[in-house]
Structure 1
Amino acid sequence: MAAQQLVLGIILIISALILLYLAIYSLRKRSSNLYFYFSLLMFSVFFWCLGSALEFLSSDFGAKVFWIQISYIGVATAAPLWFILILEYGQYGKYLKPANIGTLMILPLVIIVLAFTNNFHGLIWPSITPTSDATGALLIYAHGLGYWINIGYSFLLLILGFVILLRLLMKSPRIYHNQILILLLSGFIPLVFSVLYNTDILGIPGLDVTPFGLTISGFLMAVSIFKFSLLGIRPIAYETLFNTIKNGFMVFDKEDKLIDVNPAAEMIGITTSDVGKHFTQLMDNLPDLMKFYQNPEEESVVYAGDPFNIWIRVQSTLLYDNNEFKGRLIAIQDISKLKRVEKDFSESEERYKNLSELSPDAILVVIGENIVFANKASAKIYGFDNPDALLGKNIFSFYHPDSVELAKKRWNKVLVERKVLGFVEKKIISQDGQVKYIEVGDAPITYNGQQAVQLVARDITERKKLEEELKKSLKEKDLMMKEIHHRVKNNLMVIQSLLNLQSRYIKDTAARDIFKDSQNRAKSMAMIHESLYQSSDLKRIEFSEYINNLANNLFYSYSADPKRVKMDVNVDEVMLDVNTAIPLGLIITELLSNCLKYAFPGDKTGEIKVDFHPYTENGEKKLKLTVSDNGIGLPEGFDPKKSDSLGLMLIYSLSEQISANIKLDRTAGTKFEISFKEKAEFEKT
């Protein structure tokens, strides 16, 4: 075995190990598809270099052929995998679908199969001839059709990859140029070495130098990974970020010349056409920005005047490479909206302050339990000359002992549940010792970035005094009204008693009946006033109880026999105004009196019914009174409207007074239906 072949074999072995390390390193990282494809490429080239190395180091003819077949795993796949890597690097990953990758790899797989089965067809190597009879001599491989198809396919993919990288080189920032150039060389160097081998320019029969080109490419890849972050952010990713971000970026070199700018910087009129200009040219119409650049701070807010008229936040970052100053990055952000919001907030805060100062109600803001804001009205309510005197004081120190517990409960509810609580009455003790009544509402707010409670309080001390006086006045009025009803009832009872005494001296039955009717009328009115006197409502009475009492009094007044005549009273609880109750009571008195006097003469038996119920007609609430009997009824041809009977005249007259309708039914005795609309509430409350 020649010493030259031994050296070449060792070089390729070392190269293969380096490539294997790069493959494993990339596979372990595998944070993106780029790492995965790079790892596959390194494994492919590893097989190429390893097979070629062992072919150099083998002395047996069969072993040499076997290892060159092993190397074809890399020979056939290296170019397609390099092309896939370039596509991923250039952000053409959308084309790297499984079906497309499979299509790319069909021919390499066929070539590998042909290499391992060459003995049967000779499509890769029609013949293999040693260069000499010496043991371990180099082999000369005749190139068949399959070989040249693989070479053509590989060269085509390399050229396509070069086109992609050259386009990427032209539009990427300079910081990524080294990465792209290394990738170009990683494909170009093996291509040159392959051309040298296939054209036999070197004049060394059987020596394939292509694996040595791969060795150089492997070293370049290693340098690119560890020095230029080949597998880090790629140029296209940087370009996408740089061109789409909403903030403007400008990169200046150490001579203060613009070397890169993104589209967002156009907000201040600087575009890619300005690249190469000095900052003094760029910022001639932006004096505030120029001042910032000349006296750099980390961050500042400046106004860009005409024609831009925007507020911008400017940030400056110095750029270093291995502690060597390279330039600076200027970032600009349009904060015009934020400035408008700040202005609106400031104006809103000023309006709030003015409104609170003009408010007649006390407005306080409390953080923790201490007052941090108080308007002018607060000073007056809490007994101070100046609202500033309230600041820092504990809000609960002003509450009367009767109100402290309620105040703390509401306080916790506002802070914990963040609820707005309506106005309630509380008592406070002002600075000068006065006990005052206030109405206070509580609301959660944020004040100077802290959770706080806003109190709105109004002094209702005078109103409470007026309420007490009004209650006292109403009580006195109620007593007076009770006294009036009591006296009216007594006077009516006196009249009834006088009529009763007078009737004892009257011999004429008809005249005595007239006196009796008058007694009953006075009695019915007296009962109304008695109910009002006993009721808490001095204007309305509960009428069902009144009807029951009136019916019983009339029944016994006329000495009716309960065995012969039955009284059935069926009424609902209804509250009636006194202006309706008195005439309706007289109507009931007249109707029941007529039933008791005339419906059941002699020993005739029967029943008297009284019904009183609310009902609804055409959406209106009404009341209906029905008084009926099953007695002898009214005489034939008798017209109650034309009767000179005082009782019937009263019935129709009083019905008109309360706007009631009267319906008379003579089919089975006598039945009067009186319906009317009551202005007051029907239902008992």
Structure 2
Amino acid sequence: MEFFSLEMWAKIFWIKISYIGVATAAPLWFIVILEYAQHEKYLKPKYIGMLMVLPLVIILLAFTNDLHGLIWPSITPVSSVTGSPLIYAHGVAFWVNIAYSFILIILGLVVLLRLLMKSPRVYHTQILILITSGVIPLFFSVLYNTDILGIPGLDITPFGLTISGLLLAVSIFKFSLLGIRPIAYEKLFETIKNGFMVFDTNGTLIDVNPAAEMIGITEDDVGKQATDLLDKFPELKEFYHTAGEEKTIYVGDPFNRWIRMQITFLYDKNEFKGRLLTIQDISKLKRAEKDYIDSEERYKNLSELSPDAILVVMGEKIVFANKASATIFGMENPQDLLDKNLFSFYSPDSVETSKKRLHEVFVENKTLDFIEEKIISLDGQHKDIEVGDAPINYNGQRAVQIVARDISQRKKLEEELKKSLKEKDLMMKEIHHRVKNNLMVIQSLLNLQSRYIKDTDARDIFKDSQNRAKSMAMIHESLYQSSDLKRIEFSGYITTLANNLFYSYAADPERVKMSVNVDEVMLDINTAIPLGLILTELISNCLKYAFPDEESGEIKVDFHSDTDDGTNKFRLTVSDNGVGLPPDFDPQKSDSLGIMLIYSLSEQIGAEIKLDTSKGTKFDITFEEKLDHS
């Protein structure tokens, strides 16, 4: 390409490209020689890496020569004619590369000459070709660098490399350079794990490798006849004489191993030279085969005992089915399922989803969780099944294992249970509604009765009882209207209760203000009823006693939740800025029914009460909702 290029830049470009071969040819050739001579200790990656460092540097310097001129300080045309050869002045890096290449080639030649002296004649042709492949580039390089040819600008070194490459090709394809190498054959024979025994035409053992000791035959047996040598192995002896292609036998005490035998007839130019008996220890393979057969048997037994249907599918065809599969799909014998299309049993509504799952398992190798699908068994029954899919290898091929269980009965029971629960929900709503109605009847009766009572204190007692009945009735009314029959939204209840009590005691909104500040909180009925009664007593007491003689003031109701530490804690505060309680008032010793109810009901829900009388009256009730009953 350099020769045929006309422009100077193109010629320089191709000479740079050629340096990829020029710089690496010598170390690569040297590595081939080391490999051929079996000098493995010098073929470790770190040594090969060290050999290639300088060539890579030379290639880099060649491509960046314009910056430093270390390879070619100057490049000038032979003449002014377009396309004329170029004369390359040689820099320091050029001579370093030449020296490095010469050293490696000479070292390789020394290795080959030593190998030539100790190798059989059969390998001499190979070695001489390798020596020639190293000498030729060396010779061509000397011709170029000494300018013996006298042709300005003509570097013939690459032509030498080409000739070497052709020689190596001839050696590989004509003289089996890569097939049989001196030392390599001997090393292979010595280290291979298969046992080799070479017998001549008379049946005499003439060579044996160490691996043959697996059946007790060693170098000490060389010279013995095959008949005598194999006497202790009748099957092996018979095989030697019948010359079958291959046979597997078990060799008993003291070896206790399985071996595979092969006989190869040895010919040289169609002339029979003897036999090569090869033995291979396959004990591990036999054990693995037995384990595989045992595991297959265990798998089959487990499959047959499984109450779930187990199917193996390839493509869409069933290739394995257990007894439970036949039951689900309406057959007597699971063998009848084999080769049938899996989706022929699926309900039309389930086919598309099932095909997507099967594709996902087979292509993406995913294991999918159980889902519900519908099938139509052979006897026409529509069944609900639960199906899980997993990728497996079956007889050496990729397949999908499907586990299915009939959940038709369970689905039926679930539907019946849902129906039963719905009926119970309706019944509970009806109970709450009737309890509410009964409480309202009690409130109405108390209200009617109070009209005939002249004593004010007695009438107030009746009114308190009415409010208590009403507070409980409101709880049951909320539950009747709620979708949750055990819990109610308590903030709305507090607002409604406070307003009802306010107007029940005919408080003047211009004189007494009431503010309600509550969070939206769901409370269990077992907490809501006692808390509603506590709230009724607290607000009632504020309205009755906090502002006598037409005094004015404010009543505050606060209810908030706190779940920062992971528990359901609540705080109810009812306060007023009225006249307050007497200085010597002790709530624990009070004979007031309302106060007694407050403390008794608080204890029932596990609440803590704090009473503050510094500015009016303030009850602070904190509790944690206990849901053991839910």
Alignment-derived partner of residue 432 in structure 1:
379
Deviations 1:411-450 (A, max 9, x none): 2221221211121112211111111111111111121222
Q: Does 1:382 align with 2:329?
A: yes
Alignment-derived partner of residue 522 in structure 1:
469
Contact 1:584/1:654, CA 8 A, preserved across alignment? yes
Q: CA deviation at 1:230?
A: 9.6
Q: Does 1:628 align with 2:571?
A: no
Structure 1: stretches of 5+ with no match in the other structure: 1-28, 38-86, 99-159, 170-175, 185-224
Match of 2:398 among 451, 470, 476: 451
Alignment-derived partner of residue 556 in structure 2:
609
Query: Matches of 1:413 and 1:388 in 2, distance apart?
Result: 27
Q: Does 1:349 align with 2:296?
A: yes
Query: Matches of 2:28 and 2:530 in 1, distance apart?
Result: 100
Q: CA deviation at 1:164?
A: 7.9
Q: CA deviation at 1:92?
A: 6.3
Alignment-derived partner of residue 358 in structure 2:
411
Structure 2: stretches of 5+ with no match in the other structure: 1-24, 49-110, 129-170
Contact 1:359/1:377, CA 8 A, preserved across alignment? yes
Alignment-derived partner of residue 499 in structure 1:
446
- Aligned residue for 1:501, secondary structure, equals helix
Query: Matches of 1:239 and 1:317 in 2, distance apart?
Result: 19
Query: Matches of 2:449 and 2:342 in 1, distance apart?
Result: 78
Contact 1:258/1:279, CA 8 A, preserved across alignment? yes
Q: Which amino acid in 1 is paired with 2:428?
A: M
Query: Matches of 1:95 and 1:649 in 2, distance apart?
Result: 100
- Aligned residue for 2:507, secondary structure, equals coil
Q: Does 1:369 align with 2:316?
A: yes
Q: CA deviation at 1:525?
A: 0.2
Contact 1:178/1:228, CA 8 A, preserved across alignment? no
Contact 2:246/2:263, CA 8 A, preserved across alignment? yes
Change (3 A) 1:251 1:593: same
Match of 1:329 among 251, 268, 276: 276
Provide the alpha-carbon RMSD of the alignment: 3.6
TM-score, normalising length: structure 1: 0.67
Q: Does 1:268 align with 2:215?
A: yes
Query: Matches of 2:176 and 2:581 in 1, distance apart?
Result: 122
Change (3 A) 1:568 1:250: farther
Q: Which amino acid in 2 is paired with 1:596?
A: L
Alignment-derived partner of residue 666 in structure 1:
613
Q: Which amino acid in 2 is paired with 1:297?
A: G
Query: Matches of 1:640 and 1:579 in 2, distance apart?
Result: 25
Q: Which amino acid in 2 is paired with 1:613?
A: H
The within-5 A match list for 1:34-433 is 168=118, 176=120, 178-179=122-123, 229=175, 233-433=180-380
Fraction of identical pairs, as percent: 71
Alignment-derived partner of residue 593 in structure 2:
646
Larger radius of gyration: 1
Q: CA deviation at 1:88?
A: 9.5
The within-5 A match list for 1:529-540 is 529-540=476-487
Q: Which amino acid in 1 is paired with 2:502?
A: F
Deviations 1:636-665 (A, max 9, x none): 101122111111111111112222221111
Deviations 1:323-355 (A, max 9, x none): 112223222222111111110110011011111
Contact 1:90/1:165, CA 8 A, preserved across alignment? no
Q: Which amino acid in 1 is paired with 2:231?
A: D
Contact 2:542/2:576, CA 8 A, preserved across alignment? yes
Q: Which amino acid in 2 is paired with 1:664?
A: L
- Aligned residue for 1:625, secondary structure, equals strand
Alignment-derived partner of residue 13 in structure 1:
none
Contact 2:126/2:175, CA 8 A, preserved across alignment? no
Query: Matches of 2:428 and 2:28 in 1, distance apart?
Result: 96
Query: Matches of 2:508 and 2:226 in 1, distance apart?
Result: 124
Q: Which amino acid in 2 is paired with 1:272?
A: E
Q: CA deviation at 1:165?
A: 7.3
Query: Matches of 1:302 and 1:468 in 2, distance apart?
Result: 65
Query: Matches of 1:258 and 1:498 in 2, distance apart?
Result: 124
Contact 1:179/1:228, CA 8 A, preserved across alignment? no
- Aligned residue for 2:378, secondary structure, equals coil
- Aligned residue for 2:183, secondary structure, equals helix
- Aligned residue for 2:231, secondary structure, equals coil
Query: Matches of 1:481 and 1:646 in 2, distance apart?
Result: 32
Query: Matches of 1:177 and 1:630 in 2, distance apart?
Result: 124
Alignment-derived partner of residue 415 in structure 2:
468
Q: Which amino acid in 2 is paired with 1:459?
A: D
The structure that is helix-richer by fraction is 1
Change (3 A) 1:466 1:559: same
Alignment-derived partner of residue 547 in structure 1:
494
Contact 1:247/1:264, CA 8 A, preserved across alignment? yes
Contact 1:528/1:546, CA 8 A, preserved across alignment? yes
- Aligned residue for 1:489, secondary structure, equals helix
Query: Matches of 2:295 and 2:418 in 1, distance apart?
Result: 45
Q: CA deviation at 1:531?
A: 0.7
Contact 2:587/2:595, CA 8 A, preserved across alignment? yes
Q: CA deviation at 1:595?
A: 1.1
Change (3 A) 1:502 1:414: same
TM-score, normalising length: structure 2: 0.73
Contact 2:112/2:127, CA 8 A, preserved across alignment? no
Query: Matches of 1:228 and 1:451 in 2, distance apart?
Result: 44
